[in-house]
Structure 1
């Protein structure tokens, strides 16, 4: 090849001989030796996948978060202070949590990993002057190869010969309408619009062609997009950042508390410095919520499981919560907001208009005909439209399912087949009754396709023509009205053009239908085999227009309404035309008539600051290129938005990678898009995104609920040590460090997980997304945890401690520092905290809603956790080896009665408080 590097656009404009010269190729193809040399020079024709982090690094990541590091250090401190069992327990919790996190994310990754084989396995090339079939990975620049309908394209290539070639470029552009390709150069609207260039990763849906490879592998447009995606750095999710912040807060608080206890132990209790230091370290370990990290992990895992049941596969646990923060959804149109199925919804005839609806038709007076197809015998012109739609057609439908048949051909022609079926026609019988005699294939210059069929009614033949109105109306000299043809007038032409413009203004596409009897008159040849474009496509009779669109998904309207109520903006980003994009956006309620439509060309001229201003208002982006969607996501993020970006094509991958939450389509999505995304919709349903956002909000709400639940026990855990210090040691420690760990890692864990499974509270999607400055640990939680729930629990547990000592003769007898009375007192203190936590688990289930409204027993997991708490504390009291380890003993029946009486008033008091808050807010 020449050393001078030219772009695809430059190469495809060269005269054919210069083009071959530039690529050092020829029409007969390369030799095997040349191909081998180029394969060594350019490498295999493959798309290199981004190198995923090694399994070892992925595994280690789960043990190196700030919270995990804090637990490693606290375990080490526990061992250093002589509490070896405590240190081992903390490390064990960290190990179990890390392994579980790795297993969850590894399972999700396995579910999304698939063979990335968007390029075909084989390609037919000309080598050594003969046609050969080779592995597509061995295709090189300069290779001459052939294309047939159904073939995937192996490289960016220039077409040198073609017959009725149409290419589905949706993997690159996101648009389902096939584009026409032919050897002559012409640059259309938008990127990938060169008329004589085909791109790797696209599919031929019609015709044949010969092409010459210009770029292969990572040098193709497909490869460049994949490379752009792989260059994006993965940033920490908002939840990860928030947990790191929370860890820093807790670390600072615990260190300050440890410092206070260290000083107090020296000056109040007169401990030696060494003993005071050990005591302070023990309190630091006790105050760290060891159960927080595993509880967060397991709660997110539960969210992942619930989302999978709602058709959303989450690849990373932290993505669950990120969804709940979403403020903007940058959504592709085709296949995401719409069904990606071209559908004829109007048939316009000179004397009547039909609106196609379901299995039947609705006329322009909106009179539903019993949901059944009209009787075509009563509507001859409509019958002719349906017949032409079925016969002047090269596409086939394979009924894999009744709702989504597989299309072998173009979506536009598939829509015409469906129209014929809705009209009650049997396609196979129709083809047998009117066998095709001749075809004049579609051509983008003529903008029409013609077929000639036997016509048994007249013992002759008939010519059927369909195509663009500007390609058919000029060659029509008659008009069909009812069942009579008459000469067409200038007024008729104006009316037809006006109807076509009316539909175009609504973002709809139209196709003209015409026919001509094959009767040997007006220059027609005697034999159909002699028909040509020149002698056949003239003197036509105009029948009508078929009008089509890619319809919105039925469930999209409710999903959009939910987004609006939740103050989540939807920005449509599409490769389709501005008219179509605006029409769909207004139809489904995303935007109003005042929406600003920005095209890709306009966007290219905008500075980053101008774009950041534009995305703050109602805006649609049409005819955009892949890197432009990426810019749109970044502009929103610069404005402080949490951005979810949806997509299915290769063109969406960079934006999916950049977004805070990338959402790929699982059914129609390309593997590159799925690889770049954080979440995959297994049903390609936009409504599933809204359900996932609701789940994300619920997960965050539940995180706050069990954060409140876990932290409130720190107050009754800390107060005993405060009493010990400020009494100058006269009050023995009412709670040991191992007993504190029992609460943090034992009794609290399962109820906290139950809170993580709590259903959404009413109205959660009627609230705006939380501010990015909002934090998990806010003032409300701090007040409830420490000033309300925690203080009540501290008072009750302290009362339990003194109650046992009172029964032993206190205050006339000094408080016991050891012996049976001391063990009994610490046991009752621990048990009282546990039963206060039972009340807290019930109270934390709802922020403001009454527990009786959501159902006292509706969350079985919370009650299972409560049962576990009671069993665990019982085992600690009565199993000898546990008694020795945790400094506990058995208690009497009256003590159990006291314990079981604790939760009831605490629940009722909280209900009164919530009722007061609801009344104040109302």
Structure 2
């Protein structure tokens, strides 16, 4: 039965309500609750932690390491086996923890119901919990109520509803109980419907519940979020691509080394396998994924101190390559608060803050604004209740130390003609200066047509055609700048009596008040900074095109030659047409959640990394679709916060720009860490390959290489992630998201720097081989490789010499070097560790040889940078 309510006219719906004894019975409500379930949104399926944990082992590199562990176990090398398996489990645990922290977007959507709703059941008005409301319920609405379900209005008394969380439009929408013509209309144009999640700002009404849970507009947004798939970041794609290629290369080289060892060197099968295992362990950067995660996590901590709270680690890296920011207007670029901008009175155009209360026309203009309105504002807390335009009038009074409550107490309301969307007027009766006075506000064209006189500094004068033209010009100027205009007038009454519609004639015109949801003060500079960094800012809003364009011009988003587009125009365009015009469209107005997803997708089709900012429920699907979703922490809904990857704790658009700079710095640090890890691994690969080709003993045991990769390498890599951001990052253009992090210059550095370290290591190997045999040679090669990689951490801090970077500018790199040296010294000198790590005792001369050989690669690299710098 409840499905037919959408198809019924208001009289039919009323008849059906009367047929059910003026509301559902408790038994019927219980039956429908059981049938429809509680008023909440559908819950998505969740993977168990065990399944998530097992999925971490799908990677091919993990498989290769597992094979290496098995071979080590077969060969009797228990220590290496235990260490390798410990590494695999540790990485799987980290991945599982990260996964379980993600994907909460729909949880708060389920909770988007009012605590209570006033319903009619068994002929009695009662309060029930919002989730207990069912289709067919009769719900009473008053100013300040949150609508708990979608519903058809049965009775309506000057109702205004703020639907900004759904439509993005800050201005309250007038509602009516009248039936509307058939046909599809935009959400904000469905005047006889109210929607779950919206707020009643004015008036009262009775509604018939037509949809709950997933059958609401809010539920439709939840479905969009379920359908929206998140994309991998450029770094994820690059590392995935690298992992695949590395795994293939490792398998090929291991097979080659195995064959060379088995057939050319005459080694046995087990020894050949050990050679292959050594090479696999040397080549695989076991700590790479963990290091990247740690560096990203440290980046999030730094951003949090700057009011940018990162929910997903990947967002840090994506921020550094953002090329376009699709920003919601209301509450993001603007203050989400209607504010009086300019007034017109007695032929004068005055800024609101400069209004002169000694001028009779301006003083009466403010007085009418306070008396012919119902909004209230708590000065102490700043909390406000009422229509946003009326709240703006009350705040304007407060700007000039005129308290609305005091004025209303001095001039109590004696009568009222409530606002009506047909008349476009609201009138109240007061006694002013001992005489009954009708005070009216409303649409300029309607009120001007009903006015006969004009209030001036010299008194009341007849309203001439010239004066009417001047008022019309002022109104046109306001409208062209996207300002909402209200007109004000008054009329002296013959007596205190009941008002009729006929009384709204013969007015004395007082003036005009223009208002707008103003831009945030910091928005203009933030947009300019983003432009300097090569980042395009696009405004997406549910507001009107004229208003949105005016705000965009003030902020610097809309420039000469740009295009402003409305949702209906966007619907008429194909994807190809949109792609063609996309670079020139700076403003999208009157858009729906589907439009926002389409706009973000269009930028992504161009290969751009797109960020989306917003604060409303309607923004949530696009926030999830974007590469980086950014929600407002103060004014944002819980839905938008959970859908976003980043939350601005201060709701400051400029914080996004700071986050972009930090993101670029973090990416640079990750790239430096990758250079450090892979160049060190390259040294191990080249050393093992050389030993294989020259039929030498195995230079490193698998446990040696794991010690280097997991302990002595991890500390400097983490320290590289703490490198402070260099100046000028915002002056650079966003990096190409298609470009691999392992580009040719970086690969060349990895190759030749790894070769230098390999030469030093194999030189130590030969020294040890001549002094004490294979065990001594392996120990010296291991110690030299470890210490050389610790020194190499300073080379990877940047592209300039250590003298320009400053040795002490990153204290963590010094601490990491010291920690690595202590660990290496413990392995070489503590007897109990000698057997575990397969090392032998060394002489003092050999320690000096290791130190000199280990430092040589860093010395050569730094000398080259100094020469290039000069």
TM-score (norm 2): 0.93
Change (3 A) 1:277 1:854: closer
- Secondary structure at the aligned position of 2:723 is classed as coil
Change (3 A) 1:350 1:333: same
Establish whether residue 289 from structure 1 lines up as the match of residue 256 from structure 2.
no
Aligned to 1:383: 363
Aligned to 2:224: 228
- Report 1:329-728 matches (<5 A): 329-356=325-352, 360-361=353-354, 376-377=357-358, 379-399=359-379, 405-455=382-432, 458-482=433-457, 484-518=459-493, 520=494, 526-527=495-496, 529-535=497-503, 537-728=504-695
Aligned to 1:781: 746
Give the unaligned 5+ runs of structure 2.
Answer: none
Cα-to-partner distance string for 1:707-766 (whole Å, 9 max, x where unaligned): 10011112332343334333333xx44433322222111111011011112222222222
Return 826-835 or 224-233, whichever deviates more: 826-835
Name the CA distance, whole Å, in 1 between partners of 2:526 and 2:47.
Answer: 36
Establish whether residue 741 from structure 1 lines up as the match of residue 737 from structure 2.
no
1:461 deviation in Å? 4.1
Change (3 A) 1:343 1:907: farther
Cα-to-partner distance string for 1:124-169 (whole Å, 9 max, x where unaligned): 2222333232333232323222111111112221212111111011
Return 184-193 or 436-445, whichever deviates more: 184-193
Cα-to-partner distance string for 1:256-300 (whole Å, 9 max, x where unaligned): 221221122134322134432332133212221112121112112
Preserved CA contact (<8 Å) 1:266 1:276: yes
Aligned to 1:159: 153
Change (3 A) 1:236 1:831: same
Aligned to 2:94: 100
Name the CA distance, whole Å, in 1 between partners of 2:769 and 2:52.
Answer: 53
RMSD value over aligned CA atoms? 2.9
Change (3 A) 1:67 1:555: farther
Preserved CA contact (<8 Å) 2:262 2:272: yes
Preserved CA contact (<8 Å) 1:268 1:725: no
Aligned to 1:864: 815
Change (3 A) 1:146 1:85: same
Aligned to 1:885: 836
Return 675-684 or 860-869, whichever deviates more: 675-684
Q: How many residues align?
A: 868
Aligned to 1:365: none
Name the CA distance, whole Å, in 2 between partners of 1:597 and 1:703.
Answer: 39
Cα-to-partner distance string for 1:411-469 (whole Å, 9 max, x where unaligned): 211211111111122344333333333333222222222233343xx333433322221
1:827 deviation in Å? 3.5
1:226 deviation in Å? 1.2
Establish whether residue 793 from structure 1 lines up as the match of residue 765 from structure 2.
no
Change (3 A) 1:384 1:895: farther
Name the CA distance, whole Å, in 2 between partners of 1:864 and 1:400.
Answer: 51
Preserved CA contact (<8 Å) 1:850 1:911: yes
Give the unaligned 5+ runs of structure 1.
Answer: 362-373, 521-525, 809-815
Preserved CA contact (<8 Å) 1:167 1:178: yes
Name the CA distance, whole Å, in 2 between partners of 1:598 and 1:33.
Answer: 51
Aligned to 1:844: 796
Change (3 A) 1:510 1:910: farther
Cα-to-partner distance string for 1:333-387 (whole Å, 9 max, x where unaligned): 111111111111212223322224xxx43xxxxxxxxxxxx6633x333222232
Name the CA distance, whole Å, in 2 between partners of 1:592 and 1:601.
Answer: 23
Establish whether residue 31 from structure 1 lines up as the match of residue 25 from structure 2.
yes
1:235 deviation in Å? 4.3
Name the CA distance, whole Å, in 1 between partners of 2:661 and 2:45.
Answer: 33
Cα-to-partner distance string for 1:689-713 (whole Å, 9 max, x where unaligned): 2222322222222111111001111
Name the CA distance, whole Å, in 1 between partners of 2:19 and 2:82.
Answer: 71
Aligned to 2:239: 243
TM-score (norm 1): 0.88
- Report 1:56-67 matches (<5 A): 56-67=50-61
Return 385-394 or 47-56, whichever deviates more: 47-56
Cα-to-partner distance string for 1:596-624 (whole Å, 9 max, x where unaligned): 12211111122222222222333421111
Name the CA distance, whole Å, in 2 between partners of 1:104 and 1:855.
Answer: 35
Name the CA distance, whole Å, in 2 between partners of 1:320 and 1:778.
Answer: 21
Return 498-507 or 232-241, whichever deviates more: 232-241
1:897 deviation in Å? 5.2
Preserved CA contact (<8 Å) 2:612 2:623: yes
Preserved CA contact (<8 Å) 1:109 1:315: no
Name the CA distance, whole Å, in 1 between partners of 2:709 and 2:274.
Answer: 20
